[in-house]
Amino acid sequence: MTSVHSSIPPQIHPAIHHFSCTMCGKCCHNLRLPLDTEEALQWLRSGGKVQVLCEAIPWPAEPDAANGLAAYKHERSVAAMSGELPVRVVITFVAAFEGACPHLRADMKCGAYETRPRVCRIYPAEVNPFVPLMPQGKACPPEAWSTSMPRMMVDGALTDAQTVTLVRRSRQAGIEDMGRKALICQHLGIFVGALANEGFAVHSPPATVLEDALAVVNGMAIDATQMQQEWIFLTNRSPTLAALQAAGALAIRPGDGLPDTIEYLAFHGDE
Ligand code: SF4
Ligand code: SF4
C-alpha cells in the first residue's frame, strides 16, 4: 500500500499504532469540524452553523523548492498583501457546535452517517502529512489504542485503504477549494486573519448569506491567485503586534473596533 505519510521522516512515528473505535462519542462534542466547500453548503442546508477561520502567514519571498512543508502550505493558501508585507492567507470553513453535534444520537451513533463530513470518516487519522498521529492528543479513550486492536498505522502509513483514499481526497479538496474560499471572503468582506500558529480569526457571517455565496461557487473551478483586498492581522500579543507593524503589515488587537461577527481564538494568553 502506498504511504500517505511518505513525506514524514519515519523516525518521528512509533512503528505501529493499533486502533479501533469504541463508539464513545467523545469526538462528536464541542468541535470546529473542518469542511470542504461542498460539505459546508450541505451543513448549512441541514440547519447547522458554519464559521470561517482565517490565518495569515508572512510570505516575504518564495521558499526553496525543496521545502516540502512550505509547498504544502502554498498549495492551500492564497497570496495577498497586508500593508507592505506579502502574506499567504489560509481559509478554513468549519462546522461549529458546543456540546454534542446536532447529528449525534442518544446511542452515540451518527445520525447523518451516510453524509457525515469527510473529516469524521478520517478521525483519528491526520490529514496533514506534516502532523504525526499523537493518540494522547485525540479524544479516543486508551482502550481504543490497545494493542489488541487492529493495526491502524505501520511506520507512518495507514493500513486501511478507504482511509488512505479519504485522506487523499481531503488534501486535494484543500487545494481545489482555495479559489472558491478566496472569492467568498472577498464577496463577504472577510479580510482579518490571525498570525498562523498563534490563533484564528473566527468569522461568523449570517448563515443565509454564507449559504447563498457557497451555492454560487459550488462546483466552480476558480483560480486562487492574488486576493485583491488587503488583509489585517489580529493578535493578542504585543511582541507580535510590534513585529508585524515593523515589517510593514497591518495589525490590530482584539477589541480594536472589531465587529461582533469576528472573534479571536487565541492559542496563547494575552501579552
Ligand atoms: S456528523 Fe456524525 S460523526 Fe461527525 S461529529 Fe457529527 S455525529 Fe459525529
Ligand atoms: S473519540 Fe475515538 S473512540 Fe470515541 S467515538 Fe470518536 S473515534 Fe471512536
Interatomic CA distance for residues 22 and 146, integer angstroms: 11
The string of pLDDT tens digits covering residues 208-249 is 999 999 999 998 888 877 888 899 999 999 999 999 999 999
Give CA separation, 239 vs 10, 41, 243, in Å. 36, 38, 6
pLDDT at position 196: 95
pLDDT at position 9: 44
pLDDT of 250 above 70:
yes
The string of pLDDT tens digits covering residues 76-98 is 999 999 999 999 999 999 999 99
Q: What are phi and psi of 121, to 5 degrees?
A: -80, -25
CA of 125, nearest ligand number: 2
Q: Is the CB of residue 96 below 6 angstroms from any atom belonging to ligand 1?
A: no
**Domain limits, the chain:** 14-266
Please give the number of the atom of ligand 2 that sits closest to the Cα of 141: 3
Q: Which residues pair with 162 in a beta bridge?
A: none
Q: What are the grid coordinates assigned to 35, written together?
A: 469542511
For residue 102, cis peptide bond before it (omega within 30 degrees of 0): no
Q: Kindly report the pTM of this predicted structure.
A: 0.90
Kindly state the DSSP code that residue 124 receives in the 8-state scheme.
Answer: T
What confidence category does residue 13 fall into, taking pLDDT thresholds of 50, 70 and 90? low
- Ligand 2 pocket, residues with Cβ under 6 angstroms: 21-27, 123-124, 139-140, 144
Give CA separation, 148 vs 17, 136, 161, in Å. 11, 18, 21
Q: Is the CB of residue 100 below 6 angstroms from any atom belonging to ligand 1?
A: no
Interatomic CA distance for residues 3 and 24, integer angstroms: 29
Nearest to 260 by CA among 222, 182, 204, 192: 204
One-letter amino acid of 177: D
Q: What are the grid coordinates assigned to 148, written together?
A: 489488541
What average pLDDT does the structure give for the chain? 91
pLDDT of 109 above 90:
yes
pLDDT at position 261: 85
Please give the number of the atom of ligand 2 that sits closest to the Cα of 108: 5
The string of pLDDT tens digits covering residues 190-210 is 999 999 999 999 999 999 999
Q: How far apart are the first and last CA of the chain?
A: 48
CA of 109, nearest ligand number: 1
For residue 124, cis peptide bond before it (omega within 30 degrees of 0): yes
Ligand 1 centroid to residue 136 C-alpha, Å = 21
Please give the number of the atom of ligand 2 that sits closest to the Cα of 23: 5
Q: What are phi and psi of 128, to 5 degrees?
A: -75, 120
The string of pLDDT tens digits covering residues 34-69 is 999 999 999 999 999 999 999 999 999 999 989 999
CA of 95, nearest ligand number: 1
3-state DSSP call for residue 175? helix
Average pLDDT over residues 123-152: 94
Task: Indicate the pairing of strand 192-195 with strand 50-58.
Answer: parallel
* Residue to probe by mutation, ligand 1, list 43, 98, 104, most atoms within 8 Å of CB: 104
